[in-house]
Amino acid sequence: MPASPFFAILFFLMLLALGLGSQFALTDVPITSLTELFPKLRTKRYLAVIVTCTVSYLISLPFTCRGGIYLFELLMEYAANVSMVVVGFFEVYTVAYIYGYNRFMNDVKMMLGKRAAQYYLFATWCIISPLLMLIIIVTKLISAEPMINKEGAGFEKYQYPQWSTILGWFIFIGCIIPIPLVYLVSYIKEYQRLGLQQIAKPIGIESDNHLHEGNNYLEKPRYLAAITENNSPRFDWGPKKRINQYGIYAHLAETPTDYTNPSFHTETRMSEHDIDDSDRKF
């Protein structure tokens, strides 16, 4: 092949760029999550980087052993193939139905000046993608059976034992359980917060709900109000640029943005009367 060394160099540079890009994505996601979960780490980001890289290194050590390929295939099947589809379903459902498709498209219009590809996104995010992912998940659950590694790449044919299927489903549960668990914990905290607000409310005629329009959370049972508040964006959620802080984001222009202060990161949610019900739905 003419100029084969040149194309060989390009090929390996491509592999290097691909590997670095994947590595940055795989490490930056947990690092950003840690800094969001623990605001104090924002000024000490290097600690989050050290913890993430150390834990990732220790987890990857078993894959270097003689049986590492079998563990790798098991994790690929249950931690990547199945779990990622479930995580993707929750992501699409959250954007389309909890945050709200209409609200998302309004954010796109604020940034781009138009509701770009709104019909395509409505069809794919609100209808096609959730249905397809549900079908894939159910099909995968029904057709679950012990894995078989075919012969090749220097390895003989190997059929996984029955207990590997149980182990695989534990891996699967471990990957997706944080989603409902974190939501449940957040809901309980929101439920308790609303209860404390109700208890702390002054007793008297003036404190009646029908005399105070701001007490929207009392217009429905507390367990339903907690769901509404828990599904609402946090108070400091919105555009960073002042020029875009208008409409439902107007409160950001009047609020100090000391995000590094731990006291700022409370369980504050955007109040229900600041969010149009049509924004939560499509």
Q: What are 3's two structure tokens?
A: 């100029």
- Say how far apart CA 68 and CA 60 lie, in whole Å: 9
Binding site, annotated residues: 18, 22
- Say how far apart CA 191 and CA 21 lie, in whole Å: 41
- Say how far apart CA 32 and CA 48 lie, in whole Å: 8
Binding site, annotated residues for Na(+): 18, 22
Residue 238 — left, alpha, or beta (φ > 0 → left; ψ -120 to 50 → alpha)? left
Max Cα distance, the chain (Å): 90
- Say how far apart CA 239 and CA 243 lie, in whole Å: 9
**Dihedral (CA of 78, 79, 83, 88) sign:** negative
- Do the Cβ atoms of 146 and 164 come closer than 8 Å? yes
- Do the Cβ atoms of 103 and 280 come closer than 8 Å? yes
**Nearest Cα to 281, choosing from 94, 100, 120, 106?**
100
Q: What are 147's two structure tokens?
A: 């894995």
E strands in the chain: 148-149, 158-159
